[in-house]
């Protein structure tokens, strides 16, 4: 069984998705989906332990050896991302039953869980596969199911948000496919390890340069890197609360993984950051994204939308780390990938509790919330403090490493801008604190929020919020794994 862990990681949710349609009762289909996610989490933990102890794992599908056959290759980078995706999915799903019952009609709930598992399987497949065309296939599986999940939102604007994401997502996927086609035309292979060996002699080829450009832009569309982020605020604000929490915690992390995979292991660090001026592009776009998105977030009245723009800013920090390109900077990126999943997962689950009780999450709904829903609001405050990057939270750890990486390279301006960008987060988080603790509740929302959010939502939210504090104090797991993964990306040991 241990030998088949790489394929089990993907096949479990993929086969379970259509099985959901055979289960009629909403509670049973939720329990089934949760069990599948937890099983995937167990598989990812075993894979991470095995890779950390013995090095990369290869799995040949159908007994066909690479590069002729499709190969799954698990190393420290994707083992780490698989763990993040499965862990966050399991926590989010534990809150799904309560939230979905409130926000979706009974006839749509079974379909919701089937689509969720399809999206989940697609994300895991993107991360696990070692075949470039397989990346596109799983990208389409996850994207198509995501469009449908967003469209399930009660707000009629959810259909427009899903359509907007469909258009931009299709453009991104097409760019990636064109880039992969160019690579196949030049190298005759789709296996990523084989591509990595064959691309260096062709680094001066305009076709390879065009392939890199298409893949880079396509991934950045999926990543929502500024200014290619326009789909994300509408998608997050209009989707059902559980969908928003899941996407915020996992989808952009998988896109960032793809950027790391193609930049550092397929094309290679010398081609990407030395042969091309990609470092300047990434640092520039990342910093502009931090400031532009944070400033826009300050003026948002819809808190889901505010946190969506905040996600665009946080993506900027991660991309800056890739642009700096040193071991410490890549470690900061991988740390923030994990830490941001904890932050946004906890924040959006807390907002799901607010939506459950009040029916909305606009700034006026926060008035007096510190008195009427103290535990929900406390979760939002702690998550916000972590987002800002205060000490003893995970947000501080990754930003500390990013600032240290910038200073190591004498990028003093970058270090200062990272600090100033973090201060902008204080402005939009303070809006929530001010409304919750210093303003009287509105009469219409005050009556609706006399009780806390249900425990089914509050406990998973607090699990992630507590993780923000725990891993901000005991940093051994994320720091050790991210350090080893960053060395691996730069061509060092995977141990």
305-316 confidence digits (pLDDT tens): 899 998 899 999
Asked if residue 434 has pLDDT above 60, the reply is yes
CA nearest to 232, candidates 159, 173, 176, 310 = 310
Of the candidates 43, 42, 33, 31, the residue with the CA atom closest to the CA atom of residue 6: 43
Rounded average pLDDT over 46-63: 83
pTM of the model: 0.89
Question: Which pLDDT belongs to residue 442?
Answer: 66
Give pLDDT, residue 83.
92
Token pair, residue 127, equals: 């991360």
For the chain, what are the domain ranges?
277-442+449-494
The larger pLDDT score, comparing residue 256 to residue 106, is at 256
The string of pLDDT tens digits covering residues 136-183 is 999 999 989 999 999 887 777 888 888 988 998 899 999 999 999 999
Scanning the structure block, which residue is given the tokens 């904890």?
342
> Comparing 4 with 260, which gets the higher pLDDT?
260
The two structure tokens encoding residue 173: 């996927």
Min mean pLDDT across 108-117, 123-132, 167-176, 484-493 is at 484-493
The H-assigned helical ranges of 22-156 are: 26-54, 76-94, 96-103, 106-128, 132-151
User: Confidence class of residue 494 from pLDDT cuts 50, 70 and 90?
Assistant: very low
pLDDT at 493 over 50: no
DSSP conformational letter for 155: S
Q: What is the pLDDT of residue 444?
A: 54
pLDDT category at 1 given cuts 50, 70, 90 is low
Comparing 216-225, 388-397, 429-438, 443-452, which segment has the lowest mean pLDDT?
443-452
* pLDDT the model gives residue 455: 85
> What pLDDT is recorded for position 495?
35
Q: In the prediction, which pLDDT does 462 show? A: 92
Q: Give the pLDDT of residue 42.
A: 92
Q: Mean per-residue pLDDT for 195-205? A: 83
* CA dist., res. 252 & res. 281, Å (int): 19
pLDDT of res. 447: 42
Asked if the peptide bond before residue 67 counts as cis, ω within 30 degrees of 0, the response is: yes
Q: What percent of the chain has pLDDT over 90?
A: 20
User: Is the confidence at residue 446, as pLDDT, over 50?
Assistant: no
Q: How many CB atoms lie within 10 A of CB 394?
A: 27
| Structure tokens belonging to residue 153 | 């939102």
What does the block give as tokens for 456? 């089914």
Each residue's pLDDT tens digit, 316-367: 999 998 888 888 889 999 999 999 999 999 999 988 888 888 877 788 878 8
Percent of all residues in the chain with a pLDDT value above 70, rounded to a whole number: 96
CB-neighbour burial class of residue 265 (10 A; exposed 0-12, middle 13-18, buried 19+)? buried
Q: Rounded mean pLDDT of the chain? A: 86
Q: Which of 237, 326, 346, 334 is nearest to 283 (CA)?
A: 326
How close are the terminal C-alpha atoms of the chain, in Å?
Answer: 23
Q: Is 107 a residue whose pLDDT tops 90? A: no
Over residues 454-479, the mean pLDDT reads 89
């Amino acid at each position: 069984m241990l030998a088949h862990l790489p394929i089990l990681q993907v096949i479990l949710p993929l086969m379970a998705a259509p099985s959901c349609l055979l289960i009629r009762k909403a509670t049973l289909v939720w329990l089934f989906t949760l069990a599948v996610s937890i099983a995937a989490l167990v598989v990812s933990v075993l894979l991470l332990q095995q890779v950390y102890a013995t090095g990369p794992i290869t799995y040949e599908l159908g007994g066909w050896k690479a590069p002729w056959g499709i190969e799954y290759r698990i190393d420290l980078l994707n083992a780490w991302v698989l763990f993040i995706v499965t862990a966050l999915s399991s926590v989010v799903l534990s809150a799904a039953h309560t939230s979905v019952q409130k926000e979706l009609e009974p006839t749509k709930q079974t379909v919701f869980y089937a689509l969720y598992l399809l999206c989940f399987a697609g994300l895991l497949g993107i991360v696990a596969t070692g075949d470039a065309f397989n990346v596109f296939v799983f990208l389409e599986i996850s994207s198509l199911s995501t469009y449908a999940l967003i469209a399930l939102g009660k707000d009629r604007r959810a259909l427009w948000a899903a359509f907007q994401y469909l258009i931009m997502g299709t453009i991104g996927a097409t760019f990636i496919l064109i880039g992969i086609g160019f690579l196949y035309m030049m190298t005759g292979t789709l296996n990523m390890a084989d591509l990595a060996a064959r691309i260096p002699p062709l680094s001066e080829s305009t076709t390879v340069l065009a392939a890199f450009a298409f893949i880079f832009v396509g991934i950045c569309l999926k990543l929502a890197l500024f200014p290619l982020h326009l789909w994300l605020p509408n998608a997050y604000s209009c989707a059902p609360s559980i969908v928003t929490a899941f996407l915020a915690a996992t989808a952009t992390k998988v896109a960032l993984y793809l950027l790391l995979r193609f930049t550092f292991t397929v094309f290679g660090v010398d081609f990407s950051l030395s042969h091309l001026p990609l470092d300047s592009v990434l640092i520039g776009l990342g910093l502009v994204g931090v400031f532009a998105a944070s400033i826009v977030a300050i003026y948002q009245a819809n808190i889901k939308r505010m946190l969506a723009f905040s996600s665009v800013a946080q993506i900027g920090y991660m991309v800056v780390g890739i642009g700096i390109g040193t071991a410490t900077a890549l470690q900061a990126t991988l740390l923030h990938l994990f830490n941001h999943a904890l932050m946004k997962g906890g924040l959006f689950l807390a907002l799901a509790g607010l939506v459950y009780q009040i029916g909305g999450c606009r700034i006026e709904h926060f008035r007096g919330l510190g008195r009427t829903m103290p535990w929900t609001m406390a979760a939002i405050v702690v998550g916000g403090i972590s987002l800002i990057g205060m000490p003893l939270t995970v947000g501080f750890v990754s930003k500390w490493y990013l600032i240290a990486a910038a200073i190591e390279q004498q990028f003093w301006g970058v270090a200062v801008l990272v600090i100033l960008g973090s201060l902008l987060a204080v402005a939009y988080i303070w809006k929530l604190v001010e409304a919750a603790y210093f303003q009287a509740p509105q009469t219409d929302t005050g009556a609706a929020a006399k009780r806390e959010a249900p425990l089914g939502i509050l406990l998973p939210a607090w699990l992630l919020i507590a993780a923000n504090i725990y891993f901000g104090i005991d940093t051994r797991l994320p720091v050790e794994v991210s350090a080893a993964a960053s060395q691996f990306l730069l061509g060092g040991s995977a141990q």
